[in-house]
Structure 1
Amino acid sequence: MGSDVLPCYVACDVSLSMADHIDELNHGLREFRGAVHADASIADRVLCSLVGFGDKPYVVHGLYLTGEVTDLPAPGPCAGTNFGPLFPFLRDVIEEDVRLLATHRVRVLRPMVFFLSDGQPTDPVTWPAAFAALTDPRWRLRPRVVTFGVGDADEDALGRIGTFRTYLGRDGIRMGTALIASVMHVLSTSGPPADRTLS
């Protein structure tokens, strides 16, 4: 593992409305895996976790080197897309992951969350407060959040969540390209003294 690592969380909407997009997104993940694995300078610096969410969030797999990342699961039967429960869930997962990484004496960069959805939250009233807690400036582990909208994405909702960048598939941008570009930008701009060791 490199001397400094970037924890990257790909949080994907796996509700029924995403069924037509999962193949495309898995292709993007494979493209991302290949690009990171092919660059020896970053191959052991990017750790990636997959998180699915619909009616409730769950970890598909924990932090692995990017070359070991699996495909996204098929969408489940849930029709709801609740954004709100995802954000405190991510906060807890990030806290635990960084605690474990600290035992390896590596420099942990501020995490990045790559949020994928068709952007139609079924909890429009409650999710903003939960998201505010995830990105609270007083929390030292607050992640950079990149959003990627597929299908008929709600551009307004994704724009409110994307604190770092927002991409829309309908603009002709591929998910893999957006993920690679976001990770490379974070790695190229994350250096001391702006980012200190998180331990």
Structure 2
Amino acid sequence: MPEQILPFYVVCDQSYSMADHLDGLNGGLRELHRAVGTDPVVADKTRFCLIGFAGDARVLQPLCALSDIVTMVELEVSPATSFAAAFELLRTTVERDVERLKADGHRVYRPAVFFLSDGQPTDPAAWPAAYERLLDPDWPARPNIISFGIGDADETTIDRVGTVQAFMSHGGLSPSAALHEFARALTRSVVSSGEPLDDGDLVLRIPRQVTGFTALRIDQV
């Protein structure tokens, strides 16, 4: 049956620097699965995709309704931190997913991307071009991006990546705690965005404040 669909893409750094913290993030994604997968309204209106990136990028969980999967796939560490690989794969994946959803008769809203990194890109000369292609103004499916930086992430880079909101963790917040708050913010956004307005429409609801993080910008969606 055709639905109104808001796709969410979670793009996570899984470089070696994340090795001690991925357990917490994987736990947060399992909590997201439980919260959304057991809410039939939100599960029908949203779709979820998980992309991990290090030296390359991979779709770890193809776009789906969270109620359709039994176990959430987990992130695993790899060397390097290629932002270009993440943005290139994200562009290809979003394009394919949106075309498929529309072909099935769904009304598709602009995708939302939650981007997380705890370090600096190892491809500083390459990633800006891939990022600009992802946000090509002539591409109707270009996503809204909410970016999160923790640990040694560069504030200027995180601010540049986020198109509607960007967050940088406070210096006193441990990486594990920061990842927990990231997962909580993601869950709140998915759950609240999946609840239709009185007229049946959907809107992307994103956090304006996240515990332990400084908001780098506040723009209108």
- Give the TM-score category using the shorter length: 0.7 to 0.9
Partner of residue 109, structure 1: 109
Structure 2 unaligned spans of 5+: 205-221
Closer, same or farther in 2 for the Cα pair 1:40/1:187, shift >3 Å?
A: closer
Report 1:160-175 matches (<5 A).
Answer: 160-170=160-170, 174-175=181-182
- Three-state SS of the structure 2 residue aligned to 1:151 is coil
- 2-side partners of 1:97 and 1:147: how far apart? 21
- TM-superposed deviation, 1:94: 0.9
* TM-score w.r.t. length of structure 1: 0.84
Partner of residue 177, structure 1: 184
- 1-side partners of 2:2 and 2:90: how far apart? 24
- 1-side partners of 2:202 and 2:169: how far apart? 35
Report 1:128-147 matches (<5 A).
Answer: 128-147=128-147
- TM-superposed deviation, 1:161: 0.4
- 2-side partners of 1:15 and 1:124: how far apart? 16
- 2-side partners of 1:158 and 1:41: how far apart? 32
- 2-side partners of 1:62 and 1:134: how far apart? 18
Structure 1 unaligned spans of 5+: none
Instruction: Read off the aligned partner of 1:166 and give its amino acid letter.
Output: A
- TM-superposed deviation, 1:118: 0.6
1:114·1:148 contact (CA, 8 Å) conserved in 2? Answer: yes
Q: Match for 2:72 among 56, 70, 73? A: 70
- Three-state SS of the structure 2 residue aligned to 1:166 is strand
| 32-41 vs 155-164, which moves further | 32-41
- TM-superposed deviation, 1:4: 0.6
Deviations along 1:143-168, whole A, 9 cap, x unmatched? Answer: 01111223222221111101122233
Instruction: Read off the aligned partner of 1:130 and give its amino acid letter.
Output: A
Instruction: Read off the aligned partner of 2:77 and give its amino acid letter.
Output: P
* TM-score w.r.t. length of structure 2: 0.77
Paired-residue identity, %: 41
1:50·1:72 contact (CA, 8 Å) conserved in 2? Answer: no
